[in-house]
Structure 1
Amino acid sequence: MLQYQIIPVTAFQQNCTLLWCDETHQAALIDPGGDIEKLLQAVEKNNLTLTKLLLTHGHLDHVGGADKLRKRTGCPIIGPHQADAFWLNALPAQSEMFGFAHTDVFTPDNWLTETDTVTVGNLELQVLHCPGHTPGHVVFYHADSQLAIVGDVLFNGSIGRTDFPQGNHTDLINAITQKLLPLGDDVKFIPGHGPMSTLGHERVSNPYLCQPVW
């Protein structure tokens, strides 16, 4: 069975998700944006073995601790889609712009595409490529738990910004309406910032989505 803990990190209070298989106690950190000691303490407190670092997209607050954790733990970095490589190459500029500690450029061990799956212990996560906030944004979905980790695609009451380089509002709306909402109203999701919600709640109440065409 899938278990998870949401751990806000960085000054942006980005939701890093510690996700694990309760049968094997193997775990992954999704979007480890920073505060790596805090994240490692959570892994230890839950008596888990960290095996993977998963990234939804290349923005600093979601990836800033990933390479440090890879060097510290030996765990591979998986994701996002390769279309976000330019964001990872811009990490030093991002850290300077937002007043974060310097973050080096890094390359994931594996990029992800729409047809991929990622395993964590006995869990299998489906990968959905959901561009718009960034061109290489991905979402991780566990069908048995009806849980999605959506990064900055969708929020409780809002959607991701599309005014960053290579952002695209039409692509974002299409990703939400054609890939996320069809997963079902009962699906819970962990956004990149703020509280959880369900796809059904957002479908009928989110001002960016609750239109007759959806």
Structure 2
Amino acid sequence: MNIQIFQLGLLGTNCYLLQKDGEALVIDPGGDPETVLNTIEENNLRLHAILLTHAHFDHIGGVESLREETKAPVYIHEEESSWLTDPSLNGSELFQVGTISTSQPADYSIKPGKHKMGSFSFEVFHTPGHSPGSVSFWFNDDAVIFAGDTLFRQGIGRTDLPFGDHVTLIHSITEHILSLPENTTVYPGHGPATQVGEEKRTNSFLI
């Protein structure tokens, strides 16, 4: 599986384009997705889905444009299904960045468990704490997990935003991420990638 990373939106949110056998998935298009769209078109990729780790404004800013251009369905955890169209929930009002809304709800709720979309097989973990509907996408065959704003290199997701909870976040990280093989690469919502083993040994928030 090929993984391309784009920093999108005001906060440079990591948007991931996964490619395999001419097919693709996009995770967290946080801003103008023009570069993502260009890559999809240039490589003649079939986009199966737009997957959201959670619905904070900096992760959803490019959702509607990408959906309109590709007709790919949007997936999010049911606990944040109403956040996409509600600036008071997705944080765009709180941070005064303007009304960021997809104007349309997600097409599907993504549930914990194993999923297959085209050539892609992965497992969804419900990893709340940063937000109540946060999820992580684990691709076992490739030893990678896309953790959104749950776990960062030498850091963890903030829990001082509405509906955040520190104890819940630590539980999510411990149960669903640190329990994975140590060579699992963790792709976060912001900043560089890391590995499970490195965070277990050196992340001061988890020791």
TM, length-normalised to structure 1: 0.89
CA RMSD of aligned residues (A): 1.7
1:127 and 2:124 are equivalent in the alignment: yes
C-alpha distance in structure 1 between counterparts of 2:123 and 2:102, whole Å: 29
**Paired AA for residue 10 in structure 1:** G
3-state SS of 2:108 partner:
coil
Report the counterpart of residue 173 of structure 2 in structure 1.
Answer: 176
Q: What is the one-letter code of the residue matched to 2:41?
A: E
Structure 1 unaligned spans of 5+: none
**In the aligned structure 2, how far is the partner of 1:125 from the partner of 1:39?**
22
**1:27 corresponds to 2:10:** no
Q: How far did 1:27 drift?
A: 0.4
Corresponding position of 1:50: 47
Take 1:73 and 1:157, find their aligned partners in 2: how far apart are those partners? 36
Q: What is the alpha-carbon distance in structure 2 between the residues aligned to residue 6 and residue 125 of structure 1?
A: 19
| Secondary structure at 1:136 match in 2 | coil
Mark the runs of 5 or more structure 2 residues left unpaired by the alignment.
none
Task: Return the alpha-carbon distance in structure 2 between the equivalents of residues 102 and 170 of structure 1.
Answer: 29
Q: Is the 8 Å Cα contact of residues 91 and 104 (structure 1) preserved in structure 2?
A: no
Q: Which residue of 2 aligns with 1:187?
A: 184
The 2-side partners of 1:175 and 1:63 are apart by 22
In structure 2, what is the equivalent of residue 82 of structure 1? 78
Aligned residues: 205
Could you state the TM-score of these two structures normalised by the residue count of structure 2? 0.92
Separation of aligned partners in 2, 1:32 and 1:70: 10
Aligned equivalent of 1:73: 70
- SS of match in other structure, 1:70: helix
User: Once the 2 structures are TM-superposed, how far is the Cα of residue 49 of structure 1 from its aligned partner?
Assistant: 2.0
Does structure 2 retain, via aligned residues, the 8 Å contact 1:139–1:149? yes
CA deviations over 1:59-78 (Å, ceiling 9, x no partner): 01111111222122211001
